[in-house]
Amino acid sequence: MNAPFTKFSIPVLRWTVGLVVLLASVRFVLSDSAAHFLATAGLPAWIRPVLGGVLFLLPFTALIGGYLLLAVFACAVLLHVLHGQYDVGSLLVYAAAVLVCMGYTKSGPGAFQHERA
């Protein structure tokens, strides 16, 4: 992957994932069934929007926000599976995108360890 493309594509991926998660989080928190679900799961209503929109999108908190967001996705996958909802593919794709964004650092294209033939 060339350096200019990496400098553009990874931030676009980070912002896209962050905004999609933020919108889904806000929609979830504002839904009628969210209060009941959050009460039974033990999660405060502000946790998903903060992790998706603030911690993951701000560059200086992207790493810690990424780890926290991965933990939220893992808990969400577990809760869905325990409730018999096995369609968790989108959560897995989001988690993979978060991992890619976390793997990219501002140090440049050398942050990726590609094998060259």
Residue 53 confidence (pLDDT): 57
102 with 66: CB under 8 angstroms? yes
Q: How far apart are CA 37 and CA 97, in angstroms?
A: 26
Nearest to 37 by CA among 49, 47, 25, 45: 45
End-to-end CA distance of the chain: 14
pLDDT digits (tens, 9 = 90+) for 39-63: 676 766 666 666 555 666 667 777 8
**Four-CA torsion 108, 21, 55, 104, nearest 10 degrees:** -10
Q: Between 22 and 50, name the one with better pLDDT.
A: 22
- Position 89 pLDDT exceeds 90: yes
Q: How confident is the model at residue 87 (pLDDT cuts 50, 70, 90)?
A: very high
pLDDT digits (tens, 9 = 90+) for 2-18: 777 777 888 888 888 88
